[in-house]
Amino acid sequence: MSLEKSLKHYGMLFGSSRVMELLYEKITRVAITDATVLLVGESGTGKELIAQTIHQKSPRREKNFIAVNCGAIPPHLIEAAIFGHERGSFTGAARQQIGCFEHASQGSLFLDEITEMPADMQVKLLRVLESGTFLRVGGDEEVTVDVRLIAATNRELEAAVSEGSLRSDLMYRLAVFPIQVPPLRERNGDIELLAQLFLQMLNIKHHQRKTFSRRSTDMMRSYPWPGNVRELKNVVMRAFILSGDVITLDDYMPDTSARRPELHEGTLNFFVGTPLADAQRELIQATLKHFEGNKRMTADALGISLKTLYNRLKEY
Ligand SMILES: Nc1ncnc2c1ncn2[C@@H]1O[C@H](COP(=O)(O)OP(=O)(O)O)[C@@H](O)[C@H]1O
Ligand SMILES: [Mg+2]
């Protein structure tokens, strides 16, 4: 069967599994509305791609799609980044500057890693969602905006709320239309099809005709892909660069079923009552070692932002 026939897609999202079809259906329904969408799913499952797809399938498609990673902006700058600031509102604010909300006017605003947004900003965001207006930093004039909001998190909502990284009132307001994004390992059949798609794209781009060995397709099916589609894409890319005509993908995977016993060496033991900060440090360092120093993969596996990881490493 050719790849074109067996691999379905919806906008930029590829996948033929039942769970993906259900996802496409949900996107179709919600895209035409103005409802706020909350995407919940592990890192690398395609949340940003889904947010873009919702925008593209919406009546707002001709206007801006603005993406903000709340975990990547220093907390003291986030308010000005999102709401803009007036001239002279703080040292260095030489002129008025509009923020993401105004940039996304009549379009869509994607707030990624919403649990990384400081609590006081979450209150302000809730207020905008309820009133449709806000103040620029240092301003006293209400600004009215028409923006469709899409938020995302890789954390379990209940856990994020109970540990205080997501205010429950904001969570309820954001989750008008929640979408649970399935991890790659639950998308039956898609792993192989996506790997073939990524390989095909690389072949076309680099005028090659590389193929996967049979063993490597077996391997990909049995690997749990903790980094999801992002990890798969990276592994295929690395294998493509390093292999000859036949790609033996298993050489480039961080862990496969054949090597899985080693995983037991990759466990950590803590005494009950170990200070959280100590456990966290050891876990971060061990995970970083497991991914051979790859910070992106480490952050993804731990479910934290790259920025958070850098901050922790700096502390250590
Ligand atoms: N269903 C999909 N089809 C094709 N590419 C995908 C799919 N899902 C994710 N990707 C790709 O995987 C990578 C990670 O996706 P992203 O949307 O950034 O994930 P997340 O925001 O959930 O971490 C991107 O390169 C994206 O293009
Ligand atoms: Mg993302």
Q: What tens digit of pLDDT does each residue of 126-150 get?
A: 999 999 999 999 999 999 999 999 9
Average confidence (pLDDT) over 183-187: 95
Report percent pLDDT > 90 for the chain.
66
CB-CB neighbours of 245 under 10 Å = 8
Extract the tokens encoding 232: 């798969």
DSSP string, 160-197: HHHTTSS-HHHHHHHTTEEEEPPPGGGSTTHHHHHHHH
According to DSSP, the β-strands at 148-153 and 37-40 are parallel
CA distance 69 to 112: 5
Residue 93: which pLDDT band, with cuts at 50, 70 and 90? confident
Is the domain spanning 3-182 CATH 3.40.50.300? The answer is: yes
Ligand 1 neighbour 44 (Cβ under 6 A): yes
Do residues 108 and 65 make contact, with C-beta atoms less than 8 angstroms apart?
Answer: yes
Atom of ligand 1 nearest to the CA of 50: 17
> To the nearest whole number, what is the mean pLDDT of the chain?
90
Ligand 1 neighbour 99 (Cβ under 6 A): no
Residue 18: which pLDDT band, with cuts at 50, 70 and 90? very high
Q: What is the homologous superfamily of the domain 266-315 according to CATH?
A: Homeodomain-like (1.10.10.60)
Nearest ligand to the CA of 71 is 2
Opening angle at CA 121, ends 120 and 122, nearest 5: 90
According to DSSP, the β-strands at 148-153 and 108-112 are parallel
According to DSSP, the β-strands at 133-134 and 143-144 are antiparallel
Domains 3-182 and 266-315 are alike in CATH topology: no
Whether pTM > 0.85 for this model: the answer is: no
Extract the tokens encoding 316: 């250590």
Ligand 1 neighbour 53 (Cβ under 6 A): no
Higher pLDDT, 271 or 219: 219
Residue minimizing CA distance to atom 15 of ligand 1 = 46
Ligand 1 neighbour 15 (Cβ under 6 A): yes
Average confidence (pLDDT) over 49-58: 97
Position of tokens 């051979």?
292
Residue minimizing CA distance to atom 9 of ligand 1 = 46
Residue minimizing CA distance to atom 10 of ligand 1 = 46
Report the separation in Å between the CA atom of 154 and the middle of ligand 1, taken as the mean of its atom positions: 13
CA distance 204 to 199: 9
Ligand 1 neighbour 47 (Cβ under 6 A): yes
Residue 258: which pLDDT band, with cuts at 50, 70 and 90? very low
Residue 165 has pLDDT above 80, yes or no: yes
* Of 109, 113, 126, 114, residue with least CA distance to 173: 126
User: For 239-252, how does the pLDDT look when each residue is reduced to its tens digit (9 = 90+)?
Assistant: 999 889 999 876 77
Domain boundaries, the chain: 3-182, 185-260, 266-315
Burial class (CB in 10 A: 0-12, 13-18, 19+), 284: buried
Predicted local distance difference test score (pLDDT) of residue 65: 98
Report the separation in Å between the CA atom of 48 and the middle of ligand 2, taken as the mean of its atom positions: 5
Residue 256 has pLDDT above 60, yes or no: no
State residue 9 phi and psi, 5-degree precision: -145, 160
Ligand 1 neighbour 45 (Cβ under 6 A): yes
Predicted local distance difference test score (pLDDT) of residue 316: 83
CB-CB neighbours of 95 under 10 Å = 8
Nearest ligand to the CA of 48 is 1
Residue minimizing CA distance to atom 27 of ligand 1 = 49
Average confidence (pLDDT) over 11-34: 96
Residue 315: which pLDDT band, with cuts at 50, 70 and 90? confident
Eight-state DSSP code of residue 201: H
Beta strands in the chain (DSSP E): 9-10, 13-14, 37-40, 65-69, 108-112, 133-134, 143-144, 148-153, 177-180, 211-212, 246-247
Do residues 108 and 148 make contact, with C-beta atoms less than 8 angstroms apart?
Answer: yes
Do residues 237 and 250 make contact, with C-beta atoms less than 8 angstroms apart?
Answer: no
SS3 69: strand
Residue 152: which pLDDT band, with cuts at 50, 70 and 90? very high
Choose one of 193, 229, 297 to mutate for the ligand 1 pocket test, by most ligand atoms within 8 angstroms of C-beta: 229
According to CATH, the topology of domain 185-260 is Helicase, Ruva Protein; domain 3 (1.10.8)
Residue 197 has pLDDT above 70, yes or no: yes
Average confidence (pLDDT) over 68-96: 89
Q: Which amino acid is at 237?
A: M
Cβ contacts of residue 271 below 8 Å, gap of 6+?
none
Predicted local distance difference test score (pLDDT) of residue 170: 96
Q: Provide the sign of the torsion angle of the four alpha carbons 134, 138, 140, 141, taken in this order.
A: negative
Predicted local distance difference test score (pLDDT) of residue 265: 53
Choose one of 22, 230, 302, 304 to mutate for the ligand 1 pocket test, by most ligand atoms within 8 angstroms of C-beta: 230
CA distance 79 to 140: 15
Predicted local distance difference test score (pLDDT) of residue 248: 85
Predicted local distance difference test score (pLDDT) of residue 254: 66
Position of tokens 């609590």?
119
